[in-house]
Amino acid sequence: MYKGPLKQGTELARFDMPVIRDGFLAGGGAGQFEREAYKTAFASGEKAGYDAGIQKAQAMLDKIEGLLRDLTTLKSTIVREAELQCVELAMSIARKIIITELTARPEELVQMTKEGLLRLERTGQVTIKVHPALYDFFNNHKPDLLKIHPDIVFDADPSVTRYGTVVMGPVEDVVTDVDEQLKNLIKDMVDRHGAD
């Protein structure tokens, strides 16, 4: 405040508060400052929100990628297990059909034994091991087998199944058992599948 004497008759000049120029309060006052602060804060918040969104999206994408890997692994596992179960089911059905056929038509056992004889090197005596329940049946069909090889002996062996024979030559054996043939078939399939 002015503490000096007042002069009479002089005109008073108007005095306004100083205004800071450089865009701070010039012309707009406090409202302009608030708008600038709001714009700056909004832009800063928008950028922070965008960055947070990117991080969340990346985290989600990482989870989705992991889920897809897990699903691919699960699919492979299910396919392998289903494939194995299908093979087991097919072999079980085939076994039942073959055994039903051999029970209804036991002469097929003689035919299987003939094929075993043909695969064998036929020098010397050939022994055909059969289940005791089939011993008489094979003795009745011995003339057919003697056409293939003249020196055949039958041996009743309870360890031989009712659905096959063991044809034994001096050098090698041929097993015509249904279960053994199916095992060999599965082994061949697995070997071929592994080669692919």
Query: What is the mean pLDDT of the segment spanning 119-148?
Result: 90
Contact (Cβ atoms closer than 8 angstroms) between residue 167 and residue 133? no
What CATH architecture applies to the domain 106-195? Answer: 2-Layer Sandwich (3.30)
Per-residue pLDDT tens digits for 91-124: 899 999 999 999 999 999 999 999 989 988 877 8
Task: Please state the separation of Cα 82 from the chain's center in Å.
Answer: 9
Could you tell me the two tokens for 147? 């056409």
Q: Spell out the SS3 assignment of 87-116.
A: HHHHHHHHHHHHHHHHHHCCHHHHHHHHHH
- φ/ψ (deg, to 5) at 167: -100, 115
Cα 33 to Cα 24: distance, rounded to the nearest angstrom: 7
Query: What is the mean pLDDT of the segment spanning 123-142?
Result: 92
Per-residue pLDDT tens digits for 167-190: 998 888 888 888 888 888 888 887
Collapse the DSSP code of 173 into the 3-class scheme (helix H, G, I; strand E, B; otherwise coil) and give the result.
strand
Query: What is the mean pLDDT of the segment spanning 117-137?
Result: 89
Query: What is the mean pLDDT of the segment spanning 64-82?
Result: 92
**pTM beyond cutoff 0.85:** no
Cα 174 to Cα 163: distance, rounded to the nearest angstrom: 14
* Average per-residue pLDDT for the chain: 84
pLDDT for the residue 124: 85
Cα 91 to Cα 76: distance, rounded to the nearest angstrom: 23
Which residue, among 86, 160, 150, 153, has the nearest Cα to 130 in the 3D structure?
A: 160
Look at 19-23, 39-43, 82-86 and tell me which has the smallest mean pLDDT.
19-23
